[in-house]
């Protein structure tokens, strides 16, 4: 027993500094979200969390089955949740960050340690926070929005309770530590900071929505009141929770979802370190102040969750949103690139021979030290680019443009377009460019004229890297004009890409392939057509054909699939029997999956009952040898 208590004490000490899932290092309280951002290239990193100090009801009469035998979890358990996090301000008003939750559940059952005694990872939280750009840190009211994306990285293992309300599944098994899918969340945040008007109170509130496709759509909310009595000593009181807004098989009840209030204290220590602690008190505990076990289990059957573990044992337990009482703690460290200090102003006018004044007609000089001799020389710079007129080769440069030592706008690739306007700043020397500095592309196909081998391609036609439209069957007619895109190699074609000799036209020959009704038996009339195809394949020895069978939607999809495959195979067998090597042919039955006409009409169904003859190629896109 002493050994167990020692282990629990160590776990309590370690886990009590983890951050609660969802907490990402804000500057107020523990669970609060405020509308302030870190500032560009400022960082926050930390860890913290909560551990149950009243865990007696965490499984709500949990049971599992081994070889059909029911086993029960004992009452005493330990449950903790935490995460490590880091955030960075990528802009003055935009922060991004990531947090990885860590979970620990400990339980005994019938005298031996359960699998829940291991540390389990939760779903990775990627987040971005955007502060309203029209409000400054000095304003009393500030607004922000936060966007979270929970990635399904959590462990699929048995646990005492699901860590979020959106983990609950209406069908199938609920995973305690993961939603088992990508889950987005959007949150709006409001901060009212009365310390800006010398009142030691700051109020934060937030409300968000979590969309779970397989789980349960959930409303998240929270509010907190902070009292900065000094710069480093800040008591606070928070209220936060989650509420399942989607109707499922589980009853909806605000108090039956996570809902806690947290009194606590935050200390701002030296070296930009914050330390906070408090107690999470579940609103659910108010329904059972007498701590009656029968009262706790009264409605557990209405919230029965199921989980199938990796030993094929079915686990069932009642939905427990949060511990009745939990200790929560937080440790954060703020760091980053220090802001650039302004250059100090000189106390006196320096002892120099000449002061050069740009673009000035009237010069006033105050001599601070009487022993300083100052000579004033006025030098004109009409365009204000920092290069005096006598050296400026471009004296009318628009204000604000970066210039070289000759006063002309910088042009790195020497294409005649200044870098500030150049959308293609690395153009090769000698290439003709347009007004934005990009190589000319007359036909707008994305391939510059200098490398475009087909410079007059009609707009909107897809091209390859040389600027030419693809020609899949290599007959000299591009695909967008080719009315017979499956012509075999070497066949003479007309301007539409169709074989001049009808007996060499696969699209024409396929029309003569027919079968007896509802059967894969070829009609006798089909033999002449098949003989023409065999003769064509013997003539063009490099050709390979895929025989595709298709049906209409009459009958079951499964039978249509089999029938189309059998018909395609019957054509292949006929050709093999007549001297075509089997490795030049393959059969593919698509059933009713690829209609070319409307199956609602008799004419459309007739068109869908067909055989297609399609050349196939090797991995390089060339026809097999």
Range(s) for CATH 3.30.1330.60 in the chain?
502-615
Mean pLDDT for 69-76 is: 66
More confident residue, 303 or 263: 263
Please tell me the predicted confidence (pLDDT) of residue 621. 45
Percent of the chain with pLDDT over 90: 36
DSSP notation for 477-543: S-TTT-S-TTPPTT--B-TTS-BSSGGG-HHHHGGG--B-TTSSPBPTHHHHHHHHHHHHHHHSTT-
Q: What is the mean pLDDT of residues 377-392?
A: 70
pLDDT of amino acid 5: 40
**What are the residues whose beta carbons fall under 8 Å from the beta carbon of 119, sequence distance 6 or more?**
102, 103, 104
Given this model, what pLDDT does residue 343 score? 59
What confidence tens digit (pLDDT) does each residue in 447-483 have? 887 777 787 778 778 778 777 888 777 777 887 887 8
Question: Residue 29: its pLDDT value, please?
Answer: 92
Higher pLDDT, 479 or 3: 479
Say yes or no to pLDDT of 439 above 60. Answer: yes
Expressed in percent and rounded to 5, the helix, strand and coil fractions of the chain are 15, 30, 55
Residues 443/430, Cβ–Cβ less than 8 Å: no
Whether pLDDT at 244 is above 90: yes
Predicted confidence at residue 114, as pLDDT, reads 54
Whether the predicted pLDDT of 73 surpasses 80: no
Query: How many of the other CB atoms lie within 10 Å of CB of 379?
Result: 14
Report the share of the chain in percent with pLDDT over 70: 82
Write down the pLDDT at residue 4: 42
Facing residues of 259 across strands? 241
So what's the pLDDT on residue 366? 47
Note the pTM of the prediction, 2 decimals.
0.53
Asked if residues 473 and 486 have their Cβ atoms less than 8 Å apart, the reply is yes
Domain 15-336 classified CATH 2.40.160.40? yes
- Report, as an integer, the average pLDDT of 416-425: 75
Nearest to 154 by CA among 244, 83, 60: 83
Asked if the model's pLDDT at residue 16 lies above 50, the reply is: no
Task: Give which of 286, 265, 285 is closest to 275, Cα–Cα.
Answer: 265
Amino acid 66: pLDDT: 61
Report the top-level CATH class of 502-615. Answer: alpha beta
CATH 2.40.160.40 maps onto the chain at 15-336
Residue pointed to by tokens 């069957």 = 473
Highest mean pLDDT among 84-93, 112-121, 154-163, 517-526: 84-93
Burial of 342 (0-12, 13-18, 19+ CB in 10 A): exposed
Assess whether pLDDT exceeds 50 at residue 255.
Answer: yes
Average the pLDDT over 86-94 and give the result.
Answer: 95
pLDDT tens string 140-169: 999 999 999 999 999 988 777 899 999 999
| Secondary structure string (H, E, C) spanning 543-595 | CCEEEEEECCCCCCHHHHHHHHHHHHHHHHHHHHHCCCCHHHEEEEECCCCCC
Q: What is the pLDDT of residue 525?
A: 83
Does 12 or 6 have the greater pLDDT score? Answer: 6
Mean pLDDT of the 58-83 span: 71
Whether the predicted pLDDT of 286 surpasses 70? yes
Sequence-separated contacts (24+) of 412-420 with Cβ below 8 Å: 413/437
- pLDDT for position 8: 38
Report the C-alpha gap between 241 and 61 in whole angstroms. 24
Cα(153)–Cα(145) distance, integer angstroms: 25
Q: Give 614 or 402, the one with higher predicted confidence.
A: 614
Residue 14 pLDDT exceeds 50? no
**Taking each helix axis from N to C terminus, what angle separates 557-577 and 525-539, rounded to the nearest 10 degrees?**
60
Residue 407 C-beta-side C-alpha neighbours within 13 Å: 18
Q: Shortest CA distance to 610 belongs to which of 524, 509, 489, 471?
A: 509
With a CB cutoff of 8 Å and minimum separation 6, the contacts of 171 are none
* Mean pLDDT for the chain overall: 81
Q: Residue 362: its pLDDT value, please?
A: 43
pLDDT score at 65 = 61
pLDDT at 620 over 50: no
């Amino acid at each position: 027993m002493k050994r167990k208590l020692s282990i629990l004490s160590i776990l309590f000490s370690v886990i009590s500094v983890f951050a609660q899932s969802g907490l990402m290092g804000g500057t107020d309280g523990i669970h609060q979200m405020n509308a302030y951002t870190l500032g560009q290239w400022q960082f926050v990193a930390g860890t913290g969390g909560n551990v149950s100090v009243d865990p007696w009801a965490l499984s709500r009469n949990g049971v599992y089955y081994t070889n059909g035998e029911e086993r029960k979890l004992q009452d005493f358990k330990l449950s903790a949740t935490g995460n490590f996090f880091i955030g960075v301000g990528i802009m003055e008003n935009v922060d991004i960050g990531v947090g990885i939750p860590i979970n620990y559940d400990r339980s005994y059952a019938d005298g031996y340690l359960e699998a829940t005694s291991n540390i389990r990872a939760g779903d990775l939280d990627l987040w971005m926070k955007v502060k309203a750009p029209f409000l400054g840190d000095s304003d009393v009211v500030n607004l922000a929005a936060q966007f979270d994306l929970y990635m399904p990285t959590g462990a699929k293992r048995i646990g005492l309770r699901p860590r979020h309300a959106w983990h609950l599944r209406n069908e199938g098994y609920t995973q305690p530590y993961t939603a088992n899918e990508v889950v987005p969340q959007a949150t709006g945040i409001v901060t009212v900071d009365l310390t800006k008007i010398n009142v030691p109170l700051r109020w934060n509130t937030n409300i968000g929505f979590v969309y779970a496709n397989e789980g349960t759509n959930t409303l998240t909310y929270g509010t907190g009141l902070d009292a900065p009595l000094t710069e480093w000593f800040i008591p606070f009181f928070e209220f936060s929770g989650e509420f399942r807004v989607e109707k499922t098989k589980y009853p909806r009840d605000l108090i039956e979802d996570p809902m806690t209030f947290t009194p606590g204290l935050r200390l701002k220590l030296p070296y930009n370190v914050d330390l906070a602690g408090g107690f999470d008190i579940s609103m659910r505990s108010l329904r059972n102040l007498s701590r009656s076990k029968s009262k706790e289990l009264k409605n557990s059957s209405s919230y029965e969750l199921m989980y199938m573990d990796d030993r094929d044992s079915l686990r069932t337990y009642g939905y427990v949103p949060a511990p009745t009482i939990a200790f929560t703690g937080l440790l954060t460290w703020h760091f980053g690139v220090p802001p650039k200090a302004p250059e100090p102003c000189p106390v006196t006018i320096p002892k120099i021979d000449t002061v050069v004044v740009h673009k000035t007609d009237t010069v006033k000089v105050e001599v601070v030290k009487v022993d300083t001799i100052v000579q004033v020389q006025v030098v004109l710079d009409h365009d204000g680019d920092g290069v005096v007129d006598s050296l400026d080769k471009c004296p009318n440069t628009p204000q604000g443009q970066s210039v070289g030592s000759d006063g002309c706008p910088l042009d790195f690739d020497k294409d005649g377009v200044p870098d500030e306007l150049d959308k293609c700043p690395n153009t090769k020397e000698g290439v003709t460019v347009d007004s934005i500095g990009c190589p000319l592309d007359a036909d707008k196909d994305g391939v510059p004229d200098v490398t475009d081998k087909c410079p007059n391609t009609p707009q909107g036609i897809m091209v390859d890297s040389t600027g030419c439209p693809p020609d899949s069957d290599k007959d000299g007619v591009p695909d967008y004009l080719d009315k017979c895109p499956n012509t075999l190699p070497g066949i003479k074609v007309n301007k539409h890409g169709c074989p001049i000799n009808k007996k060499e036209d696969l699209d024409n020959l396929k029309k003569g392939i027919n079968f007896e009704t509802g059967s894969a038996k070829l009609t006798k009339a089909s033999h002449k057509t098949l003989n023409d195809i065999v003769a064509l394949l013997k003539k063009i020895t490099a050709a390979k054909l895929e025989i595709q069978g298709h049906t209409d939607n009459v009958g079951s999809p499964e039978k249509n699939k089999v029938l189309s495959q059998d018909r395609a195979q019957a054509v292949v067998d006929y050709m093999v029997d007549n001297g075509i090597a089997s490795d030049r042919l393959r059969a593919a039955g698509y059933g009713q999956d690829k209609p070319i006409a409307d199956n609602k009409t008799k004419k459309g169904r007739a068109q869908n009952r067909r055989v297609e003859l399609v050349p196939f190629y090797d991995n390089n896109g060339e026809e097999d040898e």
